Amino acid sequence: GAVVSQHPSWVICKSGTSVKIECRSLDFQATTMFWYRQFPKQSLMLMATSNEGSKATYEQGVEKDKFLINHASLTLSTLTVTSAHPEDSSFYICSARDMAGKGYTFGSGTRLTVV
Amino acid sequence: QKEVEQNSGPLSVPEGAIASLNCTYSDRGSQSFFWYRQYSGKSPELIMFIYSNGDKEDGRFTAQLNKASQYVSLLIRDSQPSDSATYLCALNAGNNRKLIWGLGTSLAVNP
C-alpha cells in the first residue's frame, strides 16, 4: 500500500529558530499533500494544501509566512515552521493523496516542542 | 450545524461485541467517505473508504453509507481491546479534494 514517510518524528527547538519537517511518498507520486496540526485531545486541523509545482493554499487563520510549505516534486513536501514559539508546539502530520485519488495516506507525524 | 458530526463518546463495548460508530454530514454533494482510526499520540490510519450507497465490508469492519439520509456508519464486529482508539469520519468535498473531518468518537473495548 501507499506509504508516506515523515521526518523527524520529534524535534525540540529553541524559541525563535526554524524547523523543517519533511514528508515523502515512498511508493507513489503525490500530486497533492496536506499538512495538519493537532493539539492534545483535539481533532485534526488542516493547515494547508499543497500541489506539486504550485503555491500552497492555506486555511483561514494560518500564517503563510510562518508556515512555509514547499512541494517541489511529486514525492516530497516540506513544512518549515519559522521563528517558532512555544505556542507552535504541536503534533504536525502530513497526508498525501495518491494520483489515483482513492486514498489519503498519513505520515507518522512530527511532535514539535518549542522551548 | 457542523459539516461532519460524530458523537464524541466515549463509546464503551465489551470485548467480542459489535461497536457501532455513526457520522452525519450536511453537504449533499459529498462524494467520498472515509473512516480513520487514531491511537493516542499517533497519526490517523485509514480503515476504509466508501463511495456508493450500501455496505462495504473489509474483515471485521463494515462501512454503511446512506446518502439520502446523509449518514455513514462503521461497524466493528468481534471488538478487541486493541480497537480502543478514536475513530474519525471524514468526507471529500470541493474541487480541491481536501477532507472535511468530524471530531471523532472515542471507543473503549473492555476485556
Q: Residues A14-29: pLDDT tens digits?
A: 999 999 999 999 988 8
* Confidence (pLDDT) at B94: 56
Q: Residues A100-110: pLDDT tens digits?
A: 656 789 999 99
- Cβ–Cβ of B97/A57 closer than 8 Å? no
Select from A43, A104, A111 the Cβ nearest to the Cβ of B34: A104
Q: Residues A51-92: pLDDT tens digits?
A: 888 889 999 999 999 999 998 888 999 999 999 999 999 999
Centre a 10 Å sphere on the Cβ of residue A23 and count the other Cβ atoms it contains.
Answer: 29
A48 contacts: CB under 8 Å, gap ≥ 6: A34, A35, A56, A57, A58, A59, A62, A64, A67, A69
Radius of gyration of chain B (CA): 13
- Cβ–Cβ of B46/A32 closer than 8 Å? no
Beta carbons of B28 and B3 less than 8 angstroms apart: no
Residue B4 pLDDT greater than 80, yes or no:
yes
Find how far residue B89's CA is from the centre of its chain: 4
Question: What are the Cα distances from residue B102, in Å, to A6, A50, B33?
Answer: 24, 22, 11
Q: Residues A1-10: pLDDT tens digits?
A: 788 999 999 9
* Closest by Cα among A61, A40, A44, A59 to A95: A44
**Range with the poorest average pLDDT among A39-48, A56-65, A93-102, B83-92:** A93-102
- Cβ–Cβ of A106/B49 closer than 8 Å? no
Q: What are the φ/ψ torsions at residue A87 (nearest 5 degrees)?
A: -70, -10
Question: Which residues of chain A have a CB within 8 Å of the CB of B104?
Answer: 43
Q: Is A102 on the interface with B (CB under 8 A)?
A: yes
Give yes or no for a cis peptide into B10 (omega within 30° of 0).
Answer: yes
Instruction: State the smallest CA–CA distance between residue A15 and chain B in angstroms.
Output: 23
**Which parts of chain B fold into alpha helices (H)?**
none
| Dihedral angle, C-alpha A38, B62, B54, B33, nearest 10 ° | 10
- Cβ–Cβ of A43/B102 closer than 8 Å? yes
Q: Is A66 left (phi over 0), alpha (psi -120 to 50) or beta?
A: alpha
Cα–Cα–Cα angle for A29, A34, A37, rounded to 5 degrees: 145
d(CA A13, CA B45): 28
d(CA A49, CA A96): 10
Instruction: State the smallest CA–CA distance between residue A108 and chain B in angstroms.
Output: 5
Torsion sign across C-alpha atoms A24, A28, A33, A38: negative
Pick the residue with more confidence: B85 or B99?
B85
Question: What are the Cα distances from residue A110, in Å, to A20, A53, A107, B2?
Answer: 10, 24, 9, 28
Cell numbers at residue B2, please? 457542523
